Structures are given as structure tokens and as C-alpha cells.
Amino acid sequence: MRLPSTGTIDNTYKLTLAMELQAVVWYRERWLEETRSEALRAADVYEKLGAAEAMVACRKLAQRIQGELDNPVASGQTALNRELL
């Protein structure tokens, strides 16, 4: 099996970091479904790259979001996914 070049791995890592940062922005905007999906995608790529800490962080974010989606009132959200005033 041939491994990708270091430049390819570096570029993939940077793109995945951008995915993770996008998820954080969406989380702050309360776009929970989008955030969960993006965090899980980033976690999968981090796993393939062997970036264990980053993978765990993304999976924890996705789990936290899933909890908020499962229980919106407890997270300060209405059933319509809007922030409560």
C-alpha cells in the first residue's frame, strides 16, 4: 500500500481543520444539524489521519449536539430550534 505524500496529508489536515472551524461557527449560530454533520465528517477524516485528539474533540461536539437535538428545551432551544429569549 502506498501512503500519500506529506504535502497531501498536510493539505488534508488543513482542510479538515477548516471543517472543524466551520462546525464551531455553525454551532454558535445554532445550526445544530449542520454542525453535527460537519463535526462527524471532520472526526472521520481526523481518524484516518491518525489525529486522535482532534477526532475525539469533534466526536464530543457531535455528541453534545445530538443531546441538544434530542432534548431541545433543556439546551435553551425551542422545538423549532430557535433560541429562547
Task: Classify 63 as helix, strand or coil.
Answer: helix
**pLDDT tens, position by position, for the chain (85 residues)?**
444 566 777 889 999 999 999 999 999 999 999 999 999 999 999 999 999 999 999 999 999 999 999 987 655 555 455 554 4
Residues in the chain: 85
| Distance spanning both ends of the chain, measured CA to CA | 56
Domain limits of the chain?
Answer: 6-70
58 burial level (CB within 10 Å; 0-12, 13-18, 19+) = buried
pTM of the model: 0.73
